[in-house]
A = this chain, B = another copy of it.
Amino acid sequence: MKQMIGRASIRLEKDVYIRSSASIVGKKEGEGPFGSLFDMVGEDDLFGCNTWEEAESTLQKDAVSLALGKAGLKPEEISFLFAGDLLGQSIATSFGISSFGIPMFGVYGACSTCGETLALGTMAISGEHAERVVCVTSSHFASAEKEFRFPLEYGNQRPLSAHWTVTGSGAFVLDKERAEDARAKISGITVGKIVDYGLKDSMNMGACMAPAAASTIQQHFQDFGTGPEEYDKIITGDLGRVGQTVLIDLLKERGYDIGSRHMDCGIEIYDPNTQDPHAGGSGCGCSAVTLSAYILRRLEEKNWKRVLFLPTGALLSKTSFNEGKSVPGIAHALVIEGL
């Protein structure tokens, strides 16, 4: 095939452009290091809704509206929507984006979903099946705790290896053409596979996801014939402090030293000294809002030229956890370059 390289990668013949993007977050995220960079910060995490799930749906809807608005586009000008979230049956998405009336593909890759939507959206444009697509993902601390762990009212204690799910949504308009105000371009994709090291601790998802991140990064280097030095940053979604050390060690064993270039959205999004996030932030909103608010800005400001962006997902549910299953991981990588 003209664009497929190696086992799991696509080198685009023609780059796909990130034309616009938007990020909306909750109060805690607004108080973190990227606080001033987000497009909107909620005053309280219900965002005027009656339930956490409705609040998360509102985040998605507003993020898509804002991203479209920035690009001056109407929903009718978008070919397809690629969307997902963490909740069972992806209900934040189902009730968030239906009013746009855009033909849509629902996607599930746990916290890797942001990478998955961007990969599929890029492929739709690169394969000449779409002019423009929107990719959106979200997560919400309270809906995720309810979905995966304990009701908030229970007030459970969390081990230091646990993550804090980011309340936020990031939306991206991908475009075949380079508009004047385009933010960046996507030039390559490496699609992840499910990697299961047999870890079962749902309060240590960084360790569960790190082997998948290592697998995708190694595959990426092999497929593209490159190494860490090609990238100003190698950015994982939400490995957190525990997962970061596991990832760096795993890749060192395989001959790649990414220590000086690695960044993790989950580590950066909260201040560890004042915000008590434990291992770091997580959720498919985490990588999405960090990409929109921070990473694309660094590329626009020419601080960085090229990054490898790979949201990481932990594949578990309440049911699989209660049945004693392990927590496999998956990570999808995108090469994102400044213009």
Contacts and interface: CB of A to CB of B under 8 A. Distances in A.
B103 A89 contact: no
Max count, chain B CB within 10 A of own CB: residue among A89, A90, A193, A317: A89
B98 A193 contact: yes
Interface stretch (A25-33, A38-46, A124-132, A228-236): A124-132
A34 interface: no
Interface stretch (A108-116, A289-297, A298-306): A108-116
B131 A80 contact: no
A94 interface: yes
A316 B98 CA distance: 13
Q: How many copies does the complex hold?
A: 2
Interface stretch (A3-11, A63-71, A257-265): A3-11
A187 B4 CA distance: 22
Given A1-B131, A124-B127, A316-B89, A108 B110 contact: no
Nearest to A191: B103
A98 to B, nearest CB: 4
Interface in A8-22: 8, 10
Contact of A1 (B89, B128, B195, B315): B128
Given A53-B319, A87-B319, A107-B107, A102 B1 contact: no
A37 interface: no
Interface stretch (A149-157, A178-186, A269-277, A320-328): A320-328
Interface in A63-108: 76, 79-80, 84, 86-91, 94-95, 97-98, 101-108
A166 interface: no
Interface residues of A, number: 64
Nearest to A2: B128
A252 interface: no
A309 B122 CA distance: 26
B128 A108 contact: no
B87 A191 contact: no
B1 A129 contact: yes
Contacts of A131: 1, 4
Interface string A222-246: 0000000000000000000000000
Nearest to A318: B88
A175 B98 CA distance: 33
A339 interface: no
A203 interface: no
6 contacts: A54-B323, A80-B191, A102-B193, A103-B193, A105-B109, A106-B109
